[in-house]
Structures are given as C-alpha cells and as structure tokens.
Chains A and B, each alone.
Chain A
C-alpha cells in the first residue's frame, strides 16, 4: 500500500473476509490506514462498505450470522484476538452512524456519555466535553444551553453532537458511516468542514456513496466492489485517473 508518512499505519486490515450464510460480503481485503488521514470508502450500494467499517470496531458482531476471518490490527494488535474485549476496541475506535443517534437527554450528557462510562470526575468531563464540542464545530452554537434536550437540536447539529460524543473519549480512529446521508446540503457542508478539521489529528474512515463528497474531503479513496478492494490511492489519482475500468464506470455514474 502507499505509505503516506514514515510512521506505521494506525489501523491495518489483513486478508479480511466476512462471510454471511452463503455469500462473502468482504472478500480477502487488505488495507492500511496511516495517521492523520481521511480515507473515503466508496462503492455502489451493497458492495460491503458499511460492513467493512463496522468490522473495524467489531460492531459487525452485533449482526447475527456473520463470520469474520482475517485480522484487523490496531497499533499492531489484532482486535479480533481472543483476549481483546470489543468494548475496549470501541473506546479506541469511535463511530458515527448514518442517522443522528442522540440519546434523549441533555446536550451535555450526550457529549459526556463515553466519559461517564469510565467514571471520570466532573471537572475532567466538563473540559473534555467542551474540547470535543469545539472539535466537532458545535460549541459556539450550544455553549449557552448545554442543558437543553439534545433532541431539540436540528439534524445536522445532532450529527455533530454524535461526532463530539465519539471524540470525547479520545479515540485515535473515527469511523463515519455515511454521516451526511440524512442531512440537507447546508448541514452536510458543516459536517464536511468538521471532518476536514479532524483529519489533522485522527484517522478518519468515511463511508460514502457520494463521489463528490469523497472528492471534497478525503485525501485517499478506496473503491470497493462486490466485497473486493478494486483500487486505492490518493483521491485525485483515483477519481481523475482511475486505473481500473470498474472504478471508471462507478465515478462516471454508469452504475449505482
């Protein structure tokens, strides 16, 4: 794979195969994620991109009937090793979903959720919540009413709150599964701006079916088709000069 920095990858997938009853959803896929990068995983519907990111923090195990083979190494440790607790994996590798998933409590408590789980004291929590909300670009809008119900926020604000919730426990990797698919263009733009700021400090992995979004925010694109990695490389290369005919067909919109 093309190493973009001299440091080793934070996350690396090795020969990952995810098997449903009689179909391989992910087929012998290997891919590295270097630090401070935003990789967009693109591909047609049903190509396995959501399953792929869900396998990176073992969320895939919540879907019954899927079998995972191969390795996903986080800083050199296979997260599927028997001694690894999936709960610890998910505290290091955060996730944001297609639709905002705020809990029916206050804005503050939503952002503080992960910290409450590990019993930090209030002073630490307050600092981390502010930091996370600033990083997710929501602080300016909510700093005066942190005690308001989170469900009263708009969809885009809710999604940025979900990003803040994931960031508050200081993961190094953030998985974003089509985070703007339920948002209007203005809210999408703000979430995209947030992602661009975050890629300085985190490994971001963004699933999107929107090639335009990949072009706007990512610095690497991985193209998936039928569970296989067809092509991966710097965004401009893959989107402007694809090597594979399948990639070419996808980005020119010939199949979806």
Chain B
C-alpha cells in the first residue's frame, strides 16, 4: 500500500509530528505543567496565612485552663462555648442526618423524576441561601411561629436546616451513582426495594454519606448566624432544651471587635479551635475517601 516515493521514508519521518501547531501545543502543555502547581501555591497561601495569623494570636494565651474553664462569671473562658457547641452540633447533626438521609434516599430511589427534580432544586437553593436568611427563617418559624423562644432547640434545629442540604446531596449522589446493574441484580434476586436500599446500596453508599456528614459538620460548626439569631447568647451550658445557648463562633462574633486584650484573645482562641476542628474533619474525610476507593475497586468496571 506504500505510495511511490523516490526516497524511502524512515520511521521518524512517518511518526514524528513536526507541524507548528503541535509544537506550540506541546510547549503550552509544558508551561501548564509548571503554571498549575504555581497557581495552587498562590491559592493555598491565604489559607496558610490564616492558620498562621490565627495561631500566632491564639496560641500564646491558649491553655487547657481556658478550654476547660466553665465558670459563668469568667468572661475569658471557653469551657461553656465548647460544651454548648458540642451539644448543639450533636442535636443539629442528628436532625440533619435524619432529614438528609431520608430525603436523599427518597429522591434517588423512590420519587418520580419530576418530584426528584424539585427536591434537588430545593436543596441547591438551600445551599445557596445565606445563613443569615436561614437564621431569620428560624427566628420567625421556630422561635416565634412554634413558640420555642430564643433557645437551644430553636438554634440547633435552624443549624440542622443549614446542614441538611449537604447531607441530602451526598446521599442522593451516593445512591444515584450505584451502577444500575447492581440495582437490577438485587431486585432481580427478589429483594424488595427497601431491602435493596438497606442491604445492598447502604454499604456501598455509606462511606460517601459519612464524608458528607463530616463536611456538613465542618460547615455547620463554622456558622454563626443561625445560632445567634435564634438563641442569642448564654454564659452557661443550657439546662433545658428551651434555654438560650452560645456557640464557639458566637464567642468570636462577640469579641473580635474588642480592643487588644483578653477579650480579643478569646476571639482568636475560639477561632483557632474552630479552625482546628474544620481542618481535622476535612482530613478525616480524605482518609475515608481513600479507603472507600480501595474497597470498591472493580465495582464500577
């Protein structure tokens, strides 16, 4: 099939692409290979700077005594905000997981296309809603509407609404991305739809959903408005569900505009703790993701 030619062509002649366009593209590729890591560095500089700045302000005065001090008369203690935050997050996470899981599974497995579309759109809207707006919603709907008052339960539930769409989205995605043949195999073997959801899909989707829960917790713990607008502030750990409660970020919000001194230091200490929790949760998410990839190798072939 060789074309008639006066000089025999070498492998190089046939295989090398010496056109200008290709040379330009290769050059661009090489440049991009250098440029992208550089841009990455630029992007993480603010984060590193943030950690350094907050750490430098917080660490000199941060001590175990500050963290464990729950004396309500000591304005420069973090024991109460920390304990309150843990309690609020437990409540908020429990509510958000219940709502998010239920909604996500329903959307992915049971609802019709149209209803599922509405659910997904609502969740996207909710994610895009500023937390202040959600805080106002909580104030009007829970504090006033349901008559819960400025309270722990109103604040934590409002925070749960804020976290729900994140858990909803990962649940929906985790269930929707299970290969169709796996679903059909389970149903074809005589599984009822809920048995498929619980016995086959849940173990596959679980790590991804757990990731979503951790991320939602990381996002929720950094929020201020949903709590401050619905439960004001408190110097004690709430004795009942309907008592006001404080939050770590509320300690930042109340103190960060103070002149240099113990109050400002307290804001930085609280900020540093929140930062640590958020970073730790994100690292946990990374670890789970990596394990998950390994366990399901071969499923999506």
Which residues of A does B touch, CB under 8 Å? 57, 59, 62, 64, 87-88, 90-91, 94-95, 97-99, 101, 103-105, 113-114, 116-118, 151-152, 162, 165-166, 169
Contacts and interface: CB of A to CB of B under 8 A. Distances in A.
B185 A97 contact: yes
B190 A87 contact: yes
B286 interface: no
A97 B190 contact: no
B59 to A, nearest CB: 45
Given A101-B182, A103-B182, A151 B189 contact: no
Contacts of A94: 188-189
Interface of B: 113, 179, 181-182, 184-192, 195, 199-200, 203-204, 295-299
A124 to B, nearest CB: 16
A122 to B, nearest CB: 16
A104 B204 CA distance: 7
Contacts of B184: 59, 62, 97, 101
A225 B41 CA distance: 62
Nearest to A166: B189
Contact of B296 (A104, A113, A162, A165): A104
Given A104-B204, A104-B296, A151-B299, A169 B190 contact: yes
Contact of A104 (B186, B187, B189, B299): B299
A179 B38 CA distance: 51
B288 to A, nearest CB: 16
Contacts of A99: 181
A105 B295 CA distance: 9
Contacts of A151: 296-299
Given A97-B184, A97-B185, 8 more contacts: A87-B191, A90-B189, A101-B179, A103-B200, A113-B200, A117-B199, A151-B298, A165-B189
Nearest to B112: A64
Contacts of A101: 179, 181-182, 184-185
Contacts of A169: 189-190
Nearest to A118: B190
Most chain B beta-carbon neighbours within 10 Å: one of A64, A94, A103, A116: A103
A103 B199 CA distance: 10
B187 A97 contact: no
